Amino acid sequence: MSSQNVTFKNKNGHLLKGKLELPSDQEPHNYALFAHCFTCNKNYFAVKNICNALTQQGYGVLRFDFTGLGESEGDFEDSNFSGNVDDLLQAVEFLRLKYKEPSLLIGHSLGGAAVLFAAKELSSVKAVATIAAPSKANHLVHLLKDDLKEINDEGSAEVNIGGRPFKIKKQFLEDIEDKQLKTILPDLDKPLLILHSPQDAIVEIKNAEEIYLAARHPKSFISLDGADHLLTNTRDSIYAGSMIGNWASRYIEISEKIELTTNFEVVAKLGAEGFTTQMQAGNHGFIADEPVKVGGKNLGPSPYDYISAGLAACTSMTIQMYARRKNWIIDSVETHINYAKDYSTDCENCEDTSAKIDTFSREIIIKGDLDKAQLDKIILIADKCPVHKTLTTPTQVITTVIKE
């Protein structure tokens, strides 16, 4: 899995910060958008576990902080439930412009209610999943029952939710009171998955029943038996993410992953757009890409990264092979490589061989009980690694082009 920091603006111009999680071995077959719970943020460990489970199934997942929470700009006290729904719609627009519209929406707790409201406005969304969601958006009010009088009388109050202080204004309560799920669920023409724990002490299981009864088919329910409201047990959040991915595959289009075949040792296949390249080496599949700054999506290492990786791996292997033959005890060998030239600049000057000044800077970290003479020998052995020799001796590339 790879992770990218992303930013986009909400309707009021505040910068919202998120993380885009991507599969490590393929371009995402679909994108999903995750809405965190009322007092959580994008970096809450259960959120990350759910997103990780989805990326392992080939989904790209955007998780972000709502206005005024986590790392996002804005004042939480001036936000409300409607603002959260608007934030979700802006996140969808960001994905549409930069990547691809999400086909799957996922929401936890009050975030579950928010994705249900957002989904009815999004034709690109093919499936919706809620985790421990309330059947009424104003379910949160019961958590504030000791502070309601002050909020109504004074216009606001500082309340404690989940051990953290939040300032709640009267407008928040008025807004959330106006949002009734029962008014939209019968007309929500999207497959719906409801995940809930029978032991949830914050949002009781009857909420899942009410959502299920109000929603139209196709609808499904999965019991998170034994889990608490925040999915604090890692196994529960990973299970939830895995089940959501499996369930959604029934309703969203997932292009079949094409296994590349070749009589050669390595094959690389690139389509008509971008630089994300499917790779196959023996039985191992992976991808190559370019950084965003040169027009790629940064979904995988660049071609020069792979050359550096080959040199680093071969160096460490060669040193350990030699040390084992000599019965030298080396606990670990780390080979760090930097390549000095930018790939895109190099490619622009492909015809000019004098423009190529290839420099690999190599640093080797040895953990073991070796004396100076042995370390000096290690330097000589590193230069004898096969990839090092390939890079420092004349080579030839024989090319045949076949039109299909």
Half-sphere exposure of residue 42: CA atoms within 13 angstroms, side-chain side: 26
The structural domains of the chain, ordered by start, are 2-248 (3.40.50.1820), 302-392 (3.30.300.20)
What whole-number percentage of the chain has pLDDT above 70? 83
Provide the CA 9 distance to its chain's centre, in angstroms.
Answer: 19
Closest listed residue to residue 248, CA positions, set 378, 80, 57:
57
Give the tens place of pLDDT for each residue, 35-84: 988 777 777 888 999 999 999 888 999 999 988 888 888 877 777 778 88
Reported as a single tens digit per residue, the pLDDT across 291-307 is 888 888 777 889 999 99
CA–CA separation, 304 vs 346, rounded Å? 11
Span 297-326, average pLDDT:
92
Rounded Cα distance, 366 and 315, in Å: 12
Arithmetic mean of pLDDT, 167-175: 65
206: left (phi over 0), alpha (psi -120 to 50) or beta: alpha
Give the C-alpha separation, 215 to 261, whole Å: 46
CA distance 350 to 344: 10
pLDDT of residue 110: 85
